[in-house]
Amino acid sequence: MRELLTEQRIRLCAAGLGLGLLVFGAIPVIAPKPFASVFGFDEPTAETAAMSRSVGARDVAMGAGLWSAAAHGGNYAPWLLARMLSDGGDVLAIGIAAAQGKRNPRFLSLGGLALVATLADAALWALTRGARE
């Protein structure tokens, strides 16, 4: 199994994660209303659309940074750690909302996506540490 997890393959996975994150983040920046609708949010106000765009811009910036570092031979582990913490914060925020009664299945699916992303970030981050040893 060790030979399957070469540094080059881990780097490729990280670059792919970065590109995916960039695309996912661009959607609420460009189209906050459809994005909100897909995940069960009420019709967004100007304030919630701004918040959605802001979180999307965060994801675009982090995705671009992760992709660039991984694709161009840079140190991408800090980008994975930042993603893990950001995605973990999203899981926590959605968990708090769910505990307060916001249990729309589409909204909870956004929390599920954030949880899967947190786990993927953590796994890749751990693998980057193992690949250096």
Within 10 A of 118 (CB to CB), how many other CB atoms are there? Answer: 20
Region 7-32: mean pLDDT is: 95
**For the whole prediction, is pTM greater than 0.85?**
yes
The total number of structural domains in the chain stands at 1
Cα-based angle 103, 109, 112 (whole degrees, multiple of 5): 110
Helices in 1-133 by DSSP H: which ranges?
7-30, 32-38, 46-71, 77-99, 105-132
- Spatial distance between the Cα atoms of 126 and 74, rounded to a whole number of angstroms: 17
Q: What is the pLDDT of residue 18?
A: 96
Tell me, what DSSP letter sits at residue 1? Answer: -
Q: What does the block give as tokens for 25?
A: 């983040």
Find the domain containing 93 and state its range: 2-132
pLDDT greater than 70 at residue 2: no
What does the pLDDT look like over 86-104, one tens digit per residue?
999 999 999 999 999 999 9
Share of the chain above pLDDT 90, in %: 80
Cα-to-chain-centroid distance, residue 99: 22
